[in-house]
Amino acid sequence: MARAMTLQHFKLGLAALMLLTQCGRLHAYPERPLTLVVPFPATGTPDINGTPRLTKMVKLVQTLSTPSLADALAQEVAFGLGTALERTVLWERKAGGMGANGVSHVARALPDGHSLLFADNSTPLQHASGGLPHDLAPVAPVAAVPLALIGESTNSRRTVRQLIEGARSATRQVNFAALGETTTSHYASEAFFQATGIQGVRVNYNGSTDALNAVATRNVEFGFVPLTAVLPFVGGGKLRIIALTSQRRHPSVPDTPTIAESGVDDFSAGGWFGIFAPLATPRAIVARLNGDINRLVKEDGWQSMLFARGLFPLTAEVEEFRALISRERLRLALRAGQSTAAH
């Protein structure tokens, strides 16, 4: 009995010591500038093989051009989080390997909350085990990324129902544009094929610009492209947004229906951007970062910025974010199994 009591006291003392240690770390945190690692090339997305194709001309264009969505959003996160923590947050590019370089760099970093990863939903899920990114802890989401189902403006199939009926009656398979393998665009197109039962050929392109051009020139009939990439061309005469993959309409295109509204019941697909930390980062530090990021995303100015870019604000507690990642990985695994069975 005495031995059991002694063991219990030891466990309680150990738990109290761990709590005090974490509280001490939180009190001192952050001790130095933070680094936010961006695993994407300057173009925003890697090419189909996962390696950005750089030439002197491409480097010059990247230097002079407007930052990609990922870069712009990472910069906003770095500035906002730095203000909340009263520390400088630097952002550093670690591109390559379809995001693997950035993931592994943060996974190997000291787990003290000073090294963070800015990633989209496809990046960590490609380099995951057990439903979560290997050696990474989810911190908080930042924004949801709806996709637009787009067509060329003169195409007679102007609605989701017309598209489905046309594809079913066509003598050949319909070509759809997507942004490469294992991207949100890829997963959305696969989900659409399965939900509607139509046959389609997915044509992969190296980023949104190539996919938009392919649709505008009728090299493919339709495409799934992030809304943020389509917005600058709305009203330009060459492209039309048929529907959105999100659960609700977006304020930037309020007259555009969702695919679910258009007759494909319960359809929902899209991506997100979020923040991760090394796996062993103390829970108290992760919780603080989660709270700071959630407060940042809820600010009116931040929400206006996200809507203007074709995004939705997205907040979640740590465990809610973890559950979101696990559900998405399970859904993708089921899709992959169904796709394999179909072949």
Neighbours of 19 (CB within 10 A): 11
Residue 155 in domain: yes
Whether residue 282 sits in one domain with residue 140: yes
Residue 29 in domain: no
What's the chain's average pLDDT? 81
Residue 157 in domain: yes
Whether residue 185 sits in one domain with residue 329: no
Residue 2 in domain: no
Tens digit of each residue's pLDDT (9 = 90 or more) over 287-298: 999 999 999 999
Whether residue 275 sits in one domain with residue 137: yes
Give the residue from 48, 37, 258, 252 showing the smallest Cα distance to 159: 258
Residue 159 in domain: yes
Residue 13 in domain: no
Whether residue 256 sits in one domain with residue 165: yes
Whether residue 294 sits in one domain with residue 190: no
Whether residue 251 sits in one domain with residue 304: no
Work out the angle between the directed axes of helices 2-28 and 283-298 (0-180°, nearest 10): 40
Tens digit of each residue's pLDDT (9 = 90 or more) over 304-343: 999 999 999 999 999 999 999 888 777 665 554 444 444 3
- Look up the CATH number of the domain holding residue 186: 3.40.190.10
Among residues 220, 255, 270, which one ends one of the domains? 270
**pTM of the predicted structure, to 2 decimals:** 0.80
Least confident of 191-205, 255-269, 299-313, 314-328: 191-205
Whether 21 shows a pLDDT value over 60: the answer reads no
CA 30 to CA 43: how far, in whole Å?
31
Q: Which domain holds residue 258?
A: 146-270
Residue 90 in domain: yes
Opening angle at CA 21, ends 19 and 23, nearest 5: 70
Among residues 245, 270, 295, which one ends one of the domains? 270
Whether residue 315 sits in one domain with residue 336: yes
Range 159-165 average pLDDT? 91
Least confident of 4-8, 119-123, 166-170, 323-327: 4-8
Whether residue 134 sits in one domain with residue 155: no
Residue 320 in domain: yes
Among residues 234, 251, 270, which one ends one of the domains? 270
What separation, in Å, do the N-terminal and C-terminal C-alpha atoms of the chain show?
64
DSSP string for residues in 14-52: HHHHHHHHHHHHHHH---S-EEEEE-S-TTSS--TTSS-
- Look up the CATH number of the domain holding residue 302: 3.40.190.150
Whether residue 290 sits in one domain with residue 189: no
Whether residue 244 sits in one domain with residue 165: yes
Please give the backbone phi and psi of residue 287, each rounded to the nearest 5 degrees, phi first: -65, -40
Whether residue 46 sits in one domain with residue 160: no
Whether residue 307 sits in one domain with residue 258: no
> What pLDDT is attached to residue 232?
87
Looking at the structure of the chain, the number of domains it has is 2
The residues, any chain, with a CB within 8 Å of residue 236's CB and separated by 6 or more, are: none
